[in-house]
Structure 1
Amino acid sequence: MSKINKVVILGAGNLATQLAIALHDASVNIMQVYSRTMQSASILAEKVNSTALSDVKNLVVNADLYIFALSDKALQPVLDQMPIPIGDVVHTAGSIPMDIFDDYTECYGVFYPLQTFSKNRKVDFSSIPICIESNNLGLQEDLMELAERISTNIHLIDSEQRKQLHLSAVFTCNFANHMYSIGQKLLAEKDVDFDLLKPLIKETAEKVQELDPVSAQTGPAIRFDKEIMTKHENELKDLPDFQKIYRFVSESIFTMHSEKK
């Protein structure tokens, strides 16, 4: 029998919203939703049949787990307002060590879903990696059981591994999406529809499901085709920031593949 059935969600942003909905759909009782603004808390609370609040001093004291799904910069200020001691707690951050909870409670951990989230785009949690860490074996087992209710992809990952995982995710998700934004802007200048790139984006993502990324690399930079690269850089002469990105990334690609040989 699971020991985690009553949960409080602290946060109402992208991750908090999708995690709360997934847990609610798995029959977990979301007792309360906290947000700095009552409006944000209320919007999420309504979706998961919960109670909204904007003051942590009004948190219930009998929850099985308090999930801090807050931005990195918001976590410490909210913790400083919490009643001490508090119950079992976890955070969902990729770059914050587990021991941030040291002075606040005895049992704590991390419940880190590795995915990009948006409030209004529901995701299928069943394949999302959920990275678990805890200072307490009993809580670790409970967190793994909770994770198994929403995902089949559970991993025990310590704080150092998670920090590197988060850094890698910034490159593979946030930076990759920024490249899409640059591509969209370049096409818009010539009145070309960004949808033309979507099959290419899809194939690029699908290819690394079968090949390692280094083997999947293509393009002029891998062979350092100076003629094509110079033409591209000249086309970017009025966009110096993009030109710098093009040059730097191209050199990085060439260097990585030169080292592979």
Structure 2
Amino acid sequence: MDIKVSIIGSGNVATHLSKALKNSGATLLHIWSQNFKNAQALAATVSATAVDTISQITDDGSDLVIIAVKDDAITEVASALVNRKGLVAHTSGAASLADLSQLQNYGVFYPLQTFSKHKELNFNEVPICLEANNDANFQLLKNVATALSKKVYEVATDQRKILHLAAVFACNFPNYLYGVAQQLLAQHQLSFDIVRPLIAETAHKVQTALPTEVQTGPAVRNDEQTMAKHEKLLQENPDWVNIYQLLSEQIKKSK
């Protein structure tokens, strides 16, 4: 892929995206981060140059600048690129396309996945959701996305915000509940390894069926005695009791 890209950010998304771009044949020019040492570390990994000011990312270099920072910082970062004529895209699921409207050419390049810096993943399977302020910019983003992934979608801001919300329910909340399970097990000298196969099978089921079709457990069976026993076991942690009761009631209603 004959394109020059600069990355603003050095976190999980920036790290995986930079590596995927390099592996696809793109040239990584500049990496900027609030933490210059982090920028240097990522730049060394993808044969780029770390810069200490965003103004060093100029029009005569990068074809595309990707902003991969926390949502609250996107507008501020974009303001430092206001004189740039080339394309700038952010990677946020929750921020709107309009958050970059102070720029001339802008878009969204949202990879819908959970990223951890030190865990490799197959970017070819990562859905990438695109949006841009005009057709030419969309086509450029699409060319980049299709070089990285076989799952590329045109998704408008309002739809993307729903996708991001759905991802919180599908990923972030279950992971918190895994943490509750781990703490419960640890309190009773049991290993989290025992439930890993259960977690894997639950995730595997919904690859071929809808969640409501494969729901199991005491709540869906309306097993009141078992649920009462569970709540008693949780009585030392009222927050967990509340979570248990709320989710159980919602599962009952979903039948």
Q: TM-score, normalised by structure 2?
A: 0.97
1:176-191 pair list within 5 angstroms: 176-191=174-189
Among candidates 237, 240, 247, match of residue 239 of structure 1: 237
Residue in structure 1 matched with residue 123 of structure 2 by the alignment: 125
Is 1:227 the counterpart of 2:254? The answer is no
> 1:85 Cα shift?
3.7
Residue in structure 1 matched with residue 215 of structure 2 by the alignment: 217
CA–CA distance in structure 1, aligned partners of residues 79 and 240 of structure 2: 42
- For structure 1, which segment, 65-74 or 164-173, has the greater mean C-alpha deviation from structure 2 after superposition? 65-74
CA–CA distance in structure 1, aligned partners of residues 58 and 81 of structure 2: 11
Is 1:66 the counterpart of 2:85? The answer is no
Is 1:82 the counterpart of 2:99? The answer is no
> Is residue 7–residue 67 contact of structure 1 (8 Å, CA) maintained in 2?
yes
Is 1:153 the counterpart of 2:151? The answer is yes
> Is residue 144–residue 154 contact of structure 1 (8 Å, CA) maintained in 2?
yes
Task: Give me the CA root mean square deviation.
Answer: 1.1
> 1:83 Cα shift?
4.4
2:37 aligned partner, one-letter code: Q
Is 1:94 the counterpart of 2:113? The answer is no
> Is residue 57–residue 83 contact of structure 1 (8 Å, CA) maintained in 2?
no
> 1:86 Cα shift?
4.1
CA–CA distance in structure 1, aligned partners of residues 57 and 84 of structure 2: 13
> 1:36 Cα shift?
0.5
Is 1:164 the counterpart of 2:162? The answer is yes
SS in structure 1 at match of 2:220: helix
CA–CA distance in structure 2, aligned partners of residues 93 and 101 of structure 1: 12
SS in structure 2 at match of 1:116: coil
> Is residue 72–residue 93 contact of structure 1 (8 Å, CA) maintained in 2?
yes
- For structure 1, which segment, 16-25 or 215-224, has the greater mean C-alpha deviation from structure 2 after superposition? 215-224
CA–CA distance in structure 2, aligned partners of residues 120 and 212 of structure 1: 31
Is 1:199 the counterpart of 2:194? The answer is no
The sequence identity of aligned pairs, in percent, is 40
SS in structure 1 at match of 2:81: coil
2:88 aligned partner, one-letter code: V
CA–CA distance in structure 1, aligned partners of residues 38 and 151 of structure 2: 30
> 1:123 Cα shift?
1.1
SS in structure 2 at match of 1:7: strand
Residue in structure 2 matched with residue 254 of structure 1 by the alignment: 252
2:24 aligned partner, one-letter code: A
SS in structure 2 at match of 1:221: coil
SS in structure 2 at match of 1:141: helix
Q: TM-score, normalised by structure 1?
A: 0.94
> 1:54 Cα shift?
2.6
Among candidates 23, 46, 50, match of residue 48 of structure 2: 50
CA–CA distance in structure 1, aligned partners of residues 52 and 93 of structure 2: 25
Map Cα deviations across residues 167-222 of structure 1 (whole Å, 9 max, x no partner). 00000000010010000000000010100001000000000011111001000111
Is 1:6 the counterpart of 2:30? The answer is no
CA–CA distance in structure 2, aligned partners of residues 157 and 83 of structure 1: 25
Unpaired runs of 5+ residues, structure 1, are none
Unpaired runs of 5+ residues, structure 2, are none
Map Cα deviations across residues 210-239 of structure 1 (whole Å, 9 max, x no partner). 111100100011122111111000000001
SS in structure 1 at match of 2:102: coil
SS in structure 2 at match of 1:222: coil
Residue in structure 2 matched with residue 173 of structure 1 by the alignment: 171
Map Cα deviations across residues 70-97 of structure 1 (whole Å, 9 max, x no partner). 1101212222333424421111000011
